[in-house]
Structure 1
Amino acid sequence: MSKVSKLVIKACSDNKFSSFTGEFITSINPENLAIKSAVAYGVPNGVASFGSLKYYGSPPKLLSFSLLFDGTGIIPGSNTIAVIEQVKQLQDIAYSIHKKNNAPNYIRVIWGQIDFKGRLVDLDIVYSMFQVDGTLIRAEAHIAVLEEVVSAGKGKSAAGIDSDYTKPSGASATSKGSLSRGGMHRRLIMRLLAHRPLIRRLLRQRLMA
């Protein structure tokens, strides 16, 4: 029988993602991983016409998923570490500020063929079940990781796909009133993050089904 592969979040010392400083291994795998992609276009001078859309580039991808921590004993093997300790371990790897960089760690989310490189941009933890003495026995973490674009060259993209991976440079904004590529990227990232509540609700419904 094949060994069950567990999702791992590895802390990396820099954006080369090759030097690890710690890791968090899930006790319960997520039901799915969602990777959101987008493409940025602009309309020169704000006037739409045939063939007028200008490609400005592709902003970083956004990975989102939910993790369940269960200490009730209902799920075999999930309660070997206390729920509150699992939450603290996750926060230390992905969220806490570390002195070396004065920032949270770069992280790699690895599960099966997926190897996503980036940084945590959102962590919502719901504490949902307690014993009568107040001991936490169930929690759920909703996680969003923004892709860190790797250097050009042969290797793996942030989504774990073998390629000669280079982000398209896109067209430069030359007309008055055009949006800059950086501005378009920022707007699209905000739109990607706006989808998180829906993703969280869908994942929560599946976990409770």
Structure 2
Amino acid sequence: MLDFGHKVEKLYVQPYRDAEFSQPVPENKFSALINPATYNISYKFEFDDSQAPGTSATNMKFNRILPRDFNFDFLFDGTGVVKDMSVLSLGIANPFAEPVTVTEQIEAFKRKIIDYQSDRHRPYYLKIHWGELLFKGVLKQMDIEYKVFAPDGKPIRAMAKCQFAESIADVQRAAEENRESPDITHERNFNATDRLDHLTFKIYEKDEPYIQVAEFNGLDGFRKIAAGTKIYFPPIEK
């Protein structure tokens, strides 16, 4: 059963000037005409599928996680029938109200969301809010489909099919990645139960570089290492 007592929450897009999403542009906030029936988020991963000659298969080596894509359609309506975000509020247009044309609505959308920032030399960063959804990114692509026309050929309904790409500031990304890459130097406290080759394998996913690690740390050997010794694991060539 539908609960008509709940206020409909509107999907909106808030532009920001900076990658850290700390400088909003309040006057450019854009609300969709009708809340979406669906939206989709794509998760993409990149693997190295290079294969040695003469082999029948390969080990898919993980390379990176690609930015997520968010796809959503914005409806623009110039009939005056659609007066609110909710599909429950479709009703008879006010005969005394002059509806905003589809062309004007799309131009307002472009001005608030797409237009180039001359002082920043780029379009805005965007946050999309709706219910539990919070997506941070940029508008990657927009295709406008004009669907209904007046007798004089002017569009009175259009759909903007938008694809947004996720964008995360470098500082936040570094914190989220936990910096467990073999491309940076790691520090470990050596415990009595540790073995240098085992620690090396955890860092590099191979134990062969343990000799390089011992040399880097100025160790006389790798079997009798005192507990509490700080061991540094440097970047290695792949």
Equivalent residue pairs, number: 163
For residues 76 and 30 of structure 2, the distance between their equivalents in structure 1, rounded to whole angstroms, comes to: 13
Deviation readout 1:13-52 (Å, 9 max, x if unpaired): 1111122112111111121111001111113554667772
Instruction: State the shift of 1:76 in Å.
Output: 4.3
Provide the residue aligned with 1:103 in structure 2.
122
**1:69 Cα offset (Å):** 1.4
1:123 positional shift: 0.5
Amino acid at match of 2:176: Y
Tell whether the 8 Å contact from 2:49 to 2:58 is kept in structure 1 after alignment: no
Give distance in 1, aligned partners of 2:50 and 2:146: 48
Distance 2:145 2:155 in 1: 11
Relative distance call for 1:42 and 1:98 in structure 2 (3 A) is same
Listed as ranges, the gaps of 5+ residues in structure 1 are 158-163, 173-209
1:168 and 1:57 mapped to 2: Cα distance? 14
Which residues in structure 2 correspond to 1:148-167 (within 5 Å)? Answer: 148-151=167-170, 165-166=176-177
Alignment of 1:27-106 (within 5 A): 27-46=33-52, 52-77=59-84, 81-106=100-125
Q: 1:53-88 CA distances to partner (integer Å, 9 max, x unpaired)?
A: 211110100011111112224444377543222211
Relative to structure 1, is the Cα distance of residues 113 and 151 closer, same or farther in structure 2, using a 3 angstrom cutoff?
Answer: farther
Which residue among 5, 10, 13 is the counterpart of 2:9?
5
Counterpart of 2:7, as a letter, is: K
Larger RCO: Structure 1 or Structure 2 (Cα < 8 Å, ≥ 6 residues apart)? 1
- Report the identity percentage: 27
Output the CA distance in 2 between the equivalents of 1:143 and 1:167.
Answer: 32
The answer for unaligned runs of 5 or more in structure 2 is 86-92, 94-98, 184-238
Q: Residues of 2 paired with 1:113 and 1:37: CA distance?
A: 18
1:136, distance to aligned residue in structure 2 (A) = 2.7
Question: How is 1:159-198 mapped onto 2 (pairs within 5 angstroms)?
Answer: 165-166=176-177
Q: Given the two structures, how large is their TM-score scaled by the length of structure 2?
A: 0.59
Letter of the structure 1 residue corresponding to residue 11 of structure 2: L
Q: Distance in 2 between matches of 1:128 and 1:167?
A: 48
Q: Distance in 2 between matches of 1:34 and 1:168?
A: 30
Residue 33 of structure 2: SS of its match in structure 1?
Answer: coil
SS in 2 for 1:86: helix
Contact 1:58–1:168 (8 Å) recurs in 2? no
3-state SS in 1 of match to 2:159: strand
Query: In the TM superposition, what is the alpha-carbon distance from 1:117 to its structure 2 partner?
Result: 0.8
Provide closer, same or farther for how the CA distance between residues 123 and 168 of structure 1 changes in structure 2, counting only shifts above 3 A: farther
Q: Output the aligned Cα RMSD.
A: 2.9
- Pick which of 123-132 and 137-146 moved more: 123-132
Measured after TM superposition, the shift of residue 98 of structure 1 is: 1.7
Do the aligned partners of residues 121 and 63 (structure 1) sit closer, same or farther apart at CA in structure 2, a change above 3 Å counting? same
Q: When the two structures are superposed, what TM-score results if normalisation uses the length of structure 1?
A: 0.67
What is the aligned partner in structure 2 of residue 14 from structure 1?
18
